[in-house]
Amino acid sequence: MSDATLHDATRNPDDFAVQISDSIESFIVAVTEVAKGDEPDSAVPFLLLEVSQLLLTGGRLGAHEDIVPDERYEPDVGPEPDVDELRERFARLLDPVDVYSEVFDPYVPRSAPVACRISDDLADIITDLRHGLAHYRAGRVSEALWWWQFSYLSNWGPTASAALRALQSLVAHVRLDQPLDELDGLDTDSDAADGDEEQLAEEAGKVMAAEIAGPLGLRGV
Dump pLDDT digits (tens) for 32-41.
999 999 988 8
pLDDT band at 51 (very low <50, low <70, confident <90, very high): very high
Beta bridge partners of 116: 100
CA distance 59 to 157: 9
CA 129-55-38 angle, 5° bins: 70
The string of pLDDT tens digits covering residues 122-167 is: 999 999 999 999 999 999 999 999 999 999 999 999 999 999 999 9
Between 43 and 70, residue with greater pLDDT: 43
* Residue 209: predicted pLDDT: 54
How confident is residue 83, by pLDDT bands cut at 50, 70 and 90? very high
Task: List helix spans (H) across the chain.
Answer: 3-6, 16-35, 43-63, 84-94, 118-137, 141-151, 157-175, 197-208, 214-216
Calculate mean pLDDT across residues 205-219: 50
pLDDT at 77: 81
pLDDT in tens, 155-203: 999 999 999 999 999 999 888 877 776 554 455 554 443 344 444 445 5
Q: What pTM was estimated for this model as a whole?
A: 0.77
